[in-house]
């Protein structure tokens, strides 16, 4: 049900309302729903990457999907080089908490996209 609500968000205002509901109803503890909301904020055409970063910073122990959403968002943004600092931070967390965070094929793909976009700009 909640995932459907996330998918139906078509404005940034709706995302903010849903995020507020998640916090008050306790849904933010669900890593699956949190990752979906973060992904929607970071990469949707109407999303807001700075808001996605705010959400991310409130996650006590970000999982791989959380990191990937932010890296993907920056890779597609007007500042793709910022994806590299997020990637380095992810590597740092992965070395200290390998059970929570692991660089995967998507991480590499998004980082390579950021590299290509940074070289072209």
pLDDT digits (tens, 9 = 90+) for 35-89: 888 888 898 888 899 999 998 998 888 999 999 999 999 999 999 999 999 999 9
Residue given tokens 């959380």 in the structure block: 66
Buried b / exposed e across 88-114, counting CB within 10 Å, b at 16+?
Answer: eebeebbeeeeeebebeeebeebbebb
Q: How far apart are CA 94 and CA 5, in angstroms?
A: 31
Chain centroid offset of residue 27 CA: 17
**What does the domain layout of the chain look like in residue ranges?**
2-120
- Please tell me the pTM assigned to this model: 0.86
């Amino acid at each position: 049900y909640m995932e459907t609500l996330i998918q139906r968000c078509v404005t940034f205002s709706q995302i903010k309302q849903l995020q507020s509901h998640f916090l008050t109803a306790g849904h933010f503890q669900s890593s699956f729903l949190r990752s979906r909301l973060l992904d929607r904020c970071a990469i949707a055409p109407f999303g807001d990457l700075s808001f996605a970063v705010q959400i991310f910073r409130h996650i006590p122990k970000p999982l791989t999907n959380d990191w990937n959403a932010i890296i993907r968002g920056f890779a597609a943004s007007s500042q793709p080089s910022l994806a590299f600092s997020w990637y380095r931070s992810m590597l740092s967390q992965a070395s200290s908490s390998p059970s929570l965070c692991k660089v995967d094929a998507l991480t590499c793909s998004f980082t390579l996209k950021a590299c290509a976009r940074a070289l072209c700009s």
